[in-house]
Amino acid sequence: DDIMSAIRQSHNTRHIFASFLQNCQGARPLLLFPLTICIAMLALMKASPKPAPRKPNPAAKLAGSIAARLDRPVVLVGLMGSGKSAVGRRAAKQLGIGFKDSDQLIVKAAGISIAEIFELAGEVKFREMERKTLSNLALASPQIIATGGGAFCQDATANLLLQHTLTIWLKASPATLLSRIGNTKTRPLLHTDDPLATLIRLDEERARLYKKAHIHLDTDGLSTYTAMMALLHALDTHLPRR
């Protein structure tokens, strides 16, 4: 009896197993599909290169140290096209401090362009607006300030900036300046027959005044980024270590 019931049981088990396999066969595509996807994903993950480790930003560490040591605004002076605005804006971003452009502030306050101020009110009036704008900015918190090219050539403005801020002269050859300026329409002083000759003359006249700046930086042949890095290194060297 025992033998017979064992045989029957094994027969039943075989029957159940066979019908399970039969059911599975119908569901085989359903089981295979997710499996194939998983294998394909694993293969892809292996094949795709690992994301490169982030390169440490060389400017970031330097900028952090400079920002911690800055106790006054940094004012950029120099001729038109020397990069005061472009380099200044980028340096400020890197240092995590504000950026102001004195020409832009004057334009905003006046509601007309620099060329129109020169035309309608004259250069003397423009210089007065420039001095007032910069005397407010000079006493503000550490930030980068781009001046108009003639600002530092006015004694009162230069003295104020030399006393309260850290001034940096951005130098470049007149030919480089002209290539950077491009459209001379926005620069009333360059509304001449020969803008290059005008820049050469302004360079000769003003160099002795720009020389008074605390730091001199030659930007000839430098991109905005490399000039910004040179500016950060100059600040790093100039500012006392804590």
Which chain residues interact with ligand S3P by CB under 6 A?
80, 84, 103, 114, 148-150, 187-189
**Residue showing the smallest CB distance to ligand S3P in the complex:** 148
Q: Shortest approach of ligand S3P to residue 151 CB, angstroms? A: 7
Give the list of residues 6+ apart from residue 131 with CB closer than 8 angstroms, or none.
151, 154, 156, 157, 160
At closest approach, how far in Å is the CB of 76 from ligand S3P? 9
Closer to ligand S3P by CB, 70 or 209: give it: 209
Start-to-end C-alpha separation, the chain: 99
Q: Report the residue number, 97 or 178, with the smaller CB distance to ligand S3P.
A: 178
- In the block, which residue shows the tokens 């089981």? 31
Q: Which is nearer to ligand S3P, 63 or 137 (CB)?
A: 137
Q: What is the secondary structure of 155-215 as a DSSP string?
A: HHHHHHHHHHSEEEEEE--HHHHHHHH--GGG-GGG-SS-HHHHHHHHHHHHHHHHTTSSE
Beta carbon of residue 130, minimum distance to ligand S3P (angstroms, whole number): 7
> For ligand S3P, which is the closer residue by CB, 98 or 188?
188
Radius of gyration over every alpha carbon of the chain, rounded to an integer in angstroms: 35
CA separation (Å) from 202 to 73, 148, 158, 190, 218? 26, 13, 17, 10, 17
Smallest gap from residue 238 Cβ to ligand S3P (A): 23
**Shortest Å, Cβ 144 to ligand S3P:** 14
Closer by beta carbon to ligand S3P, 59 or else 86? 86
Nearest to ligand S3P of 66, 126 (CB atom):
126
CA atoms within 13 A on the CB side of 73: 27
Phi then psi for residue 78, to 5 deg, are 140, 170
Separation of alpha carbons 56 and 159, rounded Å: 40
- Quote the least distance from Cβ 181 to ligand S3P, whole Å: 7
